[in-house]
Structure 1
Amino acid sequence: MSRVSLYCVVYAGLMVSLAGCATPHRIASHPDLDSPSPALRFLHMDLTLRLSEADIAAGRLHGSVTHRFRPMPSAGDAPIERVTLDAVDLDIHRVIDADSGTALPYRYDGRKLRISLARPLAVDAAAAIRVDYSAHEHDDILTFVRPDDDHPDRPTVVYTMSEALKARYWAPCWDWPNVRWTSDISITVPRPYAGVSVGAPVGAPTEHADGTRTFRWRLTTPIDPHLLGIAIGEFDVIESSWRGVPIRAYIQPAAEREARWSFRRTRDILEYYTTLLRTEYPFRQFAHVMVQDHFHGGMEHAGFNMIAPSLLTTGPRGHVPDERAQYNYVAHMLAHAWFAGITSYANVREAWLNESFATYLHELWRTQTHGDEMLPHRLNRLARMIARFDNAGDSQGMIPRRLAAPDEIYRYDAGKIYWKGAWTLHMLRSELGDDLFWRCVAAYLAHFRGRAVTTEDLRASFEKTSGRDLRRFFDQWVRRGGTPRLSVALAWDDRRRVATIHVEQTQRVDAANPPFELPIELWFRSGGQWTRRSLRMTAAEQTFEAALHDEPDGFCVDPRATLLALVEVSKPLAMWRVQAEHGPTALARERALNHLRREKDTDAVDICRRAARESGLHFTARAAAVAALAELAPQD
């Protein structure tokens, strides 16, 4: 498959997947979007899970969880008498003081487990409670995949989902992202099954006389509960390493070929992210786990990521585009080791803090295969999709107030926190410059390591490192909804040797939706050379002048994709032809080629032919030339 045709397949698949989540939501706020203030600092979790063949058939899991904790300094001087855990639709069998074995009184209403301590807990003391319970199959949260009459060869798999606020459905805990703890997890299952969890394996599995075996996992990096997870199945294991960190792939039997190809660049991605972020990978191992029929296709956890085998492929001509697994899943989920594993949002409504970075990083990783020109192309495509759902005055910012349930944070406005979040980081990088931006990112990760963060924390950290005031930037691009739409018209005053550029913001502008303040790059071509002028737009409508030696024969706006906006440019068709053949970037040429196709400019056929054959031109622009030829000269 050629690079041009591969790109077309990948882009079509992305747009189809986005269309499936593209329904805007305008609903009242859900109470669970804001984390309550914890009275306790949870230190460590010991979790023991057990499943028999009968349990797997019945969709049932037995557990025993011990939480060790101490009062938060912010809780005041009064002793703590009660502990409240989140626990939804569980069977609670017993609650005891883990140190003394004393049974503890509790109340359980199906959602909250309220436990009275054996004695008041002083502010400088620690305690531990143990809860014995059972959990049951629950939608996409505790999922049991089994063979049936229609799918007799389907493998048996059990897996959990904890984001957002779903760990409470399979383990009693403080299920909010504003507290972190370490863990020891043991999973006892019948042979030949294996149990995978967060952290790193502790020794070899223990074999028992009853035909079961126990797998133990230890996590020494504190995490919040959304990164908790388990996967149980019959796995083969592929092992490698990177910088002394074990890398494993737990795969279904007979899937080695697909796994080796689809995961082949894991070490390269880890190296790229570590270098770019100037921050080490935070866990003692990394593992891929193949999970049949995963509800979301995949999910990140602490030290391991789940991925559905349907997303894997045997090579560049496999039945699933290789890029879908590598970028949208493997690279994206790996980025969450930093932006979730090291620091994470304090409230679900601020999930953009994780997803924006993970999305931007996986798009940057794409350039390592397809070249730097791939990023502007992708951002240009995404800008059109974002603007479709992100309308001024009608949409929420990236910290929404109106969501029906926590999960809606990932879907509202067509996944805004991913795509607009990535665009926002890109614009911030464009304003600060590469080196300063990545220094800000490294300082942010270092300062907030092991802590829950808010948008204000991110802004303050970037301001401290950069020395810039970023309040307007964050207010405009994070807190406010809407995407700018610009109408740009060019005129030339031959007597004065001045180009006049009239720019109007055509999105809704009123008292509630003031005009955006925008940095705009204008590029002019004269004498065969391109020159750049940078302007700042502060009103709904402005006219700028640029003194030039000669009348320009080429003109384009933001050819490097540094501004999230929909831009309509009014200029002579001849200028579009010049841009298509001589534009300053591949994106500028791609835009012009698409414009000529839409205008059905048959006089531009030769330009399109030359662009399609130009070996040094990025394949995204050559694809646009091929698409133009298909309409303008179908005989080609």
Structure 2
Amino acid sequence: MRRLAAPLALLLASTACTTMEAAPPATSALQPERMISPILTSPEAVDASTYAEPQVARVTHVALDLDLDFAARRASGTATLDVLAASGANEIVLDSNGLEIARITDGAGRELAYEIGNMVEEGGKGAPLTIQLDGATTLRIEYRAPADASALQWLSPEQTAGKVHPFLFSQGQAILNRTWIPTQDSPGIRQTWEARITAPKPLDVVMSGVRQGEPEDLGNGRRAFTFVMDKPVPPYLIALAAGDIDFRAIGPRTGVWAEPSVIARARAEVADTEEMVVAAEKLYGEYRWGRYDMIVLPPAFPYGGMENPVMTFLTPTFIAGDRSNNGLVAHELAHSWSGNLVTNAVWGDSWLNEGVTTYFENRIVEAVYGKKRAEQEAALMYANILDTMAEVGGDAPGTALSTDGGYELGSAIAYDKGAFFLRTVERIVGRTRFDAWLRQWFDNHAFQPATSEMFHKDMMVNLVQGEAEAEALMLRQWIFEPGLPSNVAKPDPAAFAEVDRAVTAYTSAGTIPAAYSDWTAAEQMRFLDNLPKELTADQLAALDATLGLSGTGNNEIRFLWLEMALENRYDPAVPQVDAFLSEVGRAKFVRPLFQVLWNEGEWGRPIATRIYAKTRDSYHAVTRAGVDRVMDGE
């Protein structure tokens, strides 16, 4: 997943209805025997976010047969689970959050007793669903997801680009899928799955599995779409989207889906994807998921991207017209190895997904776009780390990579400190040795969960050569202790030399750089992010007029401009903020802008209240929860 929000706040298929091009070829991924991933039993691998007891009884496969009801905003049907139980096990415990269970039977249709336990609202843990096995190895659960299921966002036609058809997408990470799928919702309990999804014509359905054949016309104004994921994945990666979407191919195994009015721009923006896949394979081995397709969702999607296997979900806010934000695509692609192939067993080790992926992303960017761009993007990451350390303190417990707490989405620690840890190791042992080690890590732990302790042990056994090198690497300090170790491999200070000189010139003399329009997006962001915090209305007006900030097509830069304007109570920017927050649901942008408005007291809070009153219902539950905390003064 691409980072969610600002460092500080987050630290503490078939043919489409107007298809322009044939969908990717339908293939069968079924295997005679399904792969079963191991369950880790070490103390640090125990997941506090699940009620499941997988060492007693675990789910190995999920088969969904669901109808999508857009009028009622409900998904309903059955989930059939394959269960592997220890000898003598009498029950299995699943995760549930608001699921309405009608009945549960075994494979022969025999009724099984079950009980839904006490609900835990905090953190979205939900309630345990305990089922008496009575010898059953197959469970058939008839159920309905609640209309307010946090994982599902049902969009009205007005919330889409086409304005004609409704849209639905799911977002499962970290523990939201228990609001629409009854299973053991833990990253350490990997499961294969299949699904049959029915939706009204002319909507298309895509999922994070391989499409099986053409959609079946049911003759009642609906079609059925079938998918298979034959490789065991953490359950948060089961994802679907349904809407008026078209497909465009990029390469022999890559393509993109989007609404018809968006598809051309989306295809142009991600045109380098096949090249990225090739670069990634050269670095760390075979891409093991078959196809790599993407879907550009409506702007309500709360994240930059989500690495759902074979179908990455992307925000339209990354489309800039010049591929300057394609680090997002590189990031989600890299998750095909770190996160999807090898997954953190518990959310306190989320850096194993995000930090490793962010490092890998930077290597893909270097291979495809060159070392200068990679170094500049690394320098921006390093600045995020320093900013976070300065705000929370270098000894804050949350600045350790491995924590015993919950999953802190989007932290500059999990992403950026994690990436700089690997960058530092690479610099010390050399790129050749490091790449060989990381490749064997992916190979030897493919389709399995992992912990920080396992990662550290593997480094010590398969990478480190001698006590002196072990001491120089400071591995345990990097992973398990707070702060930024002294051996950090800092980015090239010359990466932004020209930009930093321009910042100095502006700070001392108010000189606006004439070369700004020729700079890379990273250089422009570096300049804006380092301007003086206090600016007058005249200075802001001059910056906007000269640099075209309010008219930029790059939403990363647009966000920095709006944030800077609000921090200085610049009234001409308020309509721009209103429009932006009404159009975009990406939490990385939305929550910080509401936070700035809230921080500005009597000037900003009435603006925030007015805007949120009309936009709240359009935001995903993830975005909404973050802004609710802001508006409650937390």
Tell me the equivalent position of 1:251. Answer: 258
Please point out which of 53, 56, 74 is paired with 2:70. Answer: 56
1:394 and 2:393 correspond: no
Give CA-to-partner distance per residue, 1:235-289, whole Å, 9 cap, x none: 22223543xx3x3322212323112112211101111111111x11121222212
Change (3 A) 1:253 1:517: closer
Q: How many equivalent pairs are there?
A: 479
Q: Any residues of structure 2 matched to 1:136-285 within 5 Å, and which?
A: 136-138=146-148, 140-148=150-158, 153=163, 155-242=165-252, 245=253, 247-277=254-284, 279-285=285-291
Distance of 1:178 and 1:142 partners within structure 2? 23
Preserved contact between residue 60 and residue 136 of structure 1 (Cα < 8 Å) = yes
Preserved contact between residue 33 and residue 347 of structure 1 (Cα < 8 Å) = no
Letter in 2 for 1:351: S
Tell me the equivalent position of 1:23. Answer: 9
1:453 and 2:460 correspond: no
Change (3 A) 1:57 1:286: same
Distance of 2:267 and 2:486 partners within structure 1? 48
Tell me the equivalent position of 1:510. Answer: none
Tell me the equivalent position of 2:142. Answer: 132
Quick check: which one's strand share is greater? Answer: 1
Deviation at 1:228, TM superposition (A): 0.9
Preserved contact between residue 51 and residue 93 of structure 2 (Cα < 8 Å) = no
Please point out which of 567, 572, 586 is paired with 2:494. Answer: 586
Please point out which of 96, 99, 111 is paired with 1:103. Answer: 111
Distance of 1:65 and 1:87 partners within structure 2? 13
Tell me the equivalent position of 1:83. Answer: 92
Give CA-to-partner distance per residue, 1:480-538, whole Å, 9 cap, x none: 1123xxxxxxxxxxxxxxxxxxxxxxxxxxxxxxxx5537xxxxxxxxxxxxxxxxxxx
Distance of 1:195 and 1:447 partners within structure 2? 34
Unaligned runs of 5+ in 2: 13-46, 120-126, 532-538, 547-634
Deviation at 1:139, TM superposition (A): 6.3
Tell me the equivalent position of 2:372. Answer: 373
Preserved contact between residue 198 and residue 230 of structure 1 (Cα < 8 Å) = yes
Change (3 A) 1:82 1:251: same
Change (3 A) 1:68 1:464: same
Distance of 2:500 and 2:241 partners within structure 1? 49
Distance of 2:217 and 2:255 partners within structure 1? 21
Deviation at 1:586, TM superposition (A): 3.4
Please point out which of 51, 54, 64 is paired with 1:47. Answer: 64
Tell me the equivalent position of 1:479. Answer: 480
Deviation at 1:108, TM superposition (A): 1.5
| Higher mean C-alpha displacement, 330-339 vs 153-162 | 153-162
Distance of 1:160 and 1:587 partners within structure 2? 39
Change (3 A) 1:599 1:105: closer
Deviation at 1:459, TM superposition (A): 1.7
1:93 and 2:77 correspond: no
Secondary structure of 1:32's aligned partner: coil
Give CA-to-partner distance per residue, 1:353-378, whole Å, 9 cap, x none: 01012212222333345421333333
Deviation at 1:81, TM superposition (A): 0.8
Deviation at 1:587, TM superposition (A): 3.3
Preserved contact between residue 80 and residue 140 of structure 2 (Cα < 8 Å) = yes
Q: Specify the structure having the higher radius of gyration (Cα).
A: 1
Preserved contact between residue 137 and residue 144 of structure 1 (Cα < 8 Å) = no
Letter in 1 for 2:416: W
Deviation at 1:437, TM superposition (A): 0.6
Letter in 2 for 1:418: Y
Change (3 A) 1:382 1:96: same
Tell me the equivalent position of 1:70. Answer: 84
Change (3 A) 1:438 1:138: farther
Distance of 1:149 and 1:394 partners within structure 2? 41
Deviation at 1:458, TM superposition (A): 1.3
| Higher mean C-alpha displacement, 215-224 vs 110-119 | 110-119
Secondary structure of 2:157's aligned partner: coil
Unaligned runs of 5+ in 1: 1-13, 122-126, 317-321, 484-515, 520-561, 565-583
Deviation at 1:594, TM superposition (A): 6.6
Tell me the equivalent position of 2:310. Answer: 303
Give CA-to-partner distance per residue, 1:401-427, whole Å, 9 cap, x none: 475xx45x114xx43211111111111
Preserved contact between residue 182 and residue 221 of structure 1 (Cα < 8 Å) = yes
Preserved contact between residue 300 and residue 306 of structure 1 (Cα < 8 Å) = yes
Letter in 2 for 1:274: E
Tell me the equivalent position of 2:327. Answer: 327
Quick check: which one's helix share is greater? Answer: 2
Deviation at 1:433, TM superposition (A): 0.5
Change (3 A) 1:355 1:194: same
Letter in 2 for 1:106: Y
Preserved contact between residue 175 and residue 236 of structure 2 (Cα < 8 Å) = yes
1:443 and 2:460 correspond: no
TM-score by length of 2: 0.68
Change (3 A) 1:463 1:42: same
Preserved contact between residue 339 and residue 354 of structure 1 (Cα < 8 Å) = yes
Tell me the equivalent position of 2:42. Answer: none
Give CA-to-partner distance per residue, 1:133-153, whole Å, 9 cap, x none: 000233651110113599992
Tell me the equivalent position of 2:128. Answer: 112
Change (3 A) 1:429 1:598: farther
Preserved contact between residue 157 and residue 232 of structure 1 (Cα < 8 Å) = yes
Q: Any residues of structure 2 matched to 1:515-534 within 5 Å, and which?
A: 516=485, 518=487
Question: Relative contact order (alpha carbons < 8 A, sep ≥ 6): 1 or 2 greater?
Answer: 2
RMSD of equivalent CA atoms: 3.7
Tell me the equivalent position of 2:490. Answer: 563
Change (3 A) 1:478 1:36: farther
| Higher mean C-alpha displacement, 34-43 vs 170-179 | 34-43
| Higher mean C-alpha displacement, 106-115 vs 340-349 | 106-115
Distance of 1:282 and 1:24 partners within structure 2? 32
Change (3 A) 1:437 1:598: farther
Q: Any residues of structure 2 matched to 1:462-541 within 5 Å, and which?
A: 462-468=459-465, 470=470, 473-483=474-484, 516=485, 518=487
1:420 and 2:417 correspond: yes
Preserved contact between residue 250 and residue 274 of structure 2 (Cα < 8 Å) = no
Give CA-to-partner distance per residue, 1:556-600, whole Å, 9 cap, x none: xxxxxx238xxxxxxxxxxxxxxxxxxx97338559847975996
